[in-house]
Amino acid sequence: MIRIYQAADLPEAHLIAGLLRQAGIDARVFNENAQGGLGDIPFGAAYPEVWLIDPADAGRANRLIKDFDGAPTEPGSVFCRACSEENPANFELCWKCGAKL
């Protein structure tokens, strides 16, 4: 058994484990009951973890998780050339000064 991932919360842990299982990697979620017991557990030990049954899968699992983590979640931003204000990438005009981005 080898720990492959420490998730921020339980749904994320299950998401990662499901991702790995889909790829044929046997993965388990540990610390499932950690949430809610935060006061009793030292900080850092309370996060759900994803473990692999077979350490030989670690390389492939790491790549899958990296691809998953690296997926763009937001389009980014552009900076107005007129006033330097930050705008969402899908804006055509600066929300602050109205200049074309």
Site residues (CB under 5 A) for Zn ion?
Answer: 80, 82-83, 85, 94, 96-97, 99
Smallest separation (angstroms) from Zn ion to the CB of 80: 3
Closer to Zn ion at the Cβ: 34 or 80?
A: 80
Smallest separation (angstroms) from Zn ion to the CB of 101: 8
Smallest separation (angstroms) from Zn ion to the CB of 83: 3
Q: Phi, psi at residue 51, to the nearest 5°?
A: -115, 150
Computed over its alpha carbons, how large is the radius of gyration of the chain? Answer: 20
Closer to Zn ion at the Cβ: 23 or 93?
A: 93
Q: How far is CA 79 from CA 43, 49, 55, 75, 95, in A?
A: 38, 38, 45, 13, 11
Contact between 48 and 32 (Cβ < 8 Å):
yes
Closer to Zn ion at the Cβ: 17 or 80?
A: 80
